[in-house]
Amino acid sequence: MSHEKEITIYDIARELDISAATVSRGLKDHPAVNKATRKKIQDLAKQLGYRSNMFASNLRKKSTNTIGVIVPRLSSYFMSNVIAGMEHIASMEGYNLIISQSLETLKKEMTNADTMFNSRVDGLLVSLSYETENIDHFEPFIRKGIPVIFFDRIKEHNKCMGIIIDNYKSAYEATKHLLDNGYRRILHIGGSTVSNVYAERLRGYKQALTDHKIIPDPKLILTKNMSEEAGIESAKYILKLKHLPDAVFSANDACAVYCMRTLKKAGIRIPEDMAFVGFNNDPMSNVVEPNLTTVNYPGYAMGEAAVTQLINHLNKVSNITTTNIIILRSELIIRESSGKKKVKS
């Protein structure tokens, strides 16, 4: 199969009988070239299908105006909000995003990092996979002076910034809300504690119980992959317990909603028999019946903050290591799923 020859500025110059330097300036709308000539150059370039070689141009400038983004999964509501926030700031500042997903595996995350490095991104934004315990695969960026910012799921590094919410405090307040409403046997569904996010949410849950003189029960602590299927599995586990919990605090909304639905099918009334609190303020939390009490996690603001910090660093406005961790505000949204426990007569 034959391919059409790539059109160059020399082809345009030959057609118009002008110098290649004039064509180059005309394509950039440079005022040194008169307006009529600029229009001729741009019209012919469009007609011939000319494409500027941005890669070569960026290599000369030592900048690609691209930001690499690695996330665990693109399918989550939270992550789509984060990326929308990133895109908003990036486009305003003239940057493009290259987005990839690790699919929760270290191997894919390492491959993605290598691809981003070879693509010469100006900076990298990363939310780590479930499996990531060390961040050695980001060292090539750090050695090269390419800024790396971790968000949501982070590992601390003295040359990288982290952007998070206070997961410990949010989980503590969610658990305390259930305790204040009269619930005492509270089951927690969380993710792998390799991740700072789930480790801190578990710690907040345990501390709230301890502060209310309740010893955390290992049988009431589940570690799952936090998928919809994990919610169904958790419900089946709960139904097999000799003493049912009177409340559930799930470290995300998807898991909470599917756990609730499965329990309701088995005859469990919510919140009369079992109260529920989730995390993330996913739209499904406001659709499920009863509406789910949850923690509002500001994904859009997190995406905006990550790109803003990165571009400020690239523009030498600030240094990402001067403030190593940025903590964004979150809030508990109280809905019907966690109403006060009724004392049985």
Give pLDDT, residue 57. Answer: 56
Q: Model's pTM, two decimal places?
A: 0.80
DSSP code at position 299: H
pLDDT of residue 61: 56
Q: How far apart are CA 204 and CA 188, in angstroms?
A: 11
The DSSP output letter for 293 is B
Whole-number Å distance between alpha carbons of 337 and 321: 42
For residues 139 and 296, the answer to whether their CB atoms sit within 8 Å is no
Look at residues 108, 106, 102, 168 and name the one whose alpha carbon lies nearest to residue 325. 168
Quick check: 173 and 336 in contact, CB under 8 A? no
Locate tokens 């009863």: which residue? 290
Q: How far, rounded to the nearest angstrom, does the alpha carbon of residue 168 sit from its chain's CA centroid?
A: 18
Crossing angle of the two packed helices 9-16 and 35-48, in degrees rounded to 10: 120
CATH 1.10.260.40 is the classification of domain 9-52: yes
Record the tokens describing residue 224, joined without a space.
């799952």
2 three-state secondary structure? coil
Rounded to the nearest 5°, which phi and psi values hold at 271? -95, 5
Of 188, 192, 212, 194, residue with least CA distance to 279:
188
Token look-up 């070879």 returns 118
Q: 206 CB contacts (<8 Å, ≥6 apart)?
A: 216
pLDDT at 4: 57
Euclidean distance between CA atoms 35 and 302, whole angstroms: 44
**Element holding 247 (H helix, E strand):** strand 247-250
**CB neighbour class for 325 (10 Å; exposed up to 12, middle 13-18, buried from 19):** exposed
pLDDT tens per residue, the chain (345 residues)?
Answer: 445 577 888 889 999 999 988 988 888 888 889 999 999 999 998 888 887 665 555 555 567 899 999 999 998 889 999 999 999 999 999 999 999 999 999 999 999 999 999 889 999 999 999 899 999 999 999 999 999 999 999 998 989 999 999 999 999 999 999 999 999 999 999 999 988 999 999 999 999 999 999 999 999 999 999 999 999 999 999 999 999 999 999 999 999 999 999 999 999 999 999 999 999 999 999 999 999 999 999 999 999 999 999 999 998 887 776 568 999 999 999 999 999 988 664
Superfamily of domain 167-297+332-338: Response regulator (3.40.50.2300)
CA–CA gap between residue 345 and residue 343 (Å, rounded): 6
Whether the domain at 65-164+298-327 and the domain at 167-297+332-338 fall into the same CATH topology: yes
**Comparing C-alpha atoms, which of 314, 324, 329, 27 is closest to residue 156?**
324
Distances, alpha carbon 258 to alpha carbons 24, 101, 198, 229, 292, in Å: 59, 24, 19, 7, 11
Q: At the topology level of CATH, where does 65-164+298-327 sit?
A: Rossmann fold (3.40.50)
Q: How far apart are CA 190 and CA 212, in angstroms?
A: 21
Which sequence spans correspond to the domains of the chain? 9-52, 65-164+298-327, 167-297+332-338
Separation of alpha carbons 144 and 125, rounded Å: 16
Report pLDDT for 321.
66
> Which has the closest alpha carbon to 174: 251, 78, 288, 261?
251
CA distances from 114 to 124, 137, 139 (A): 11, 8, 11
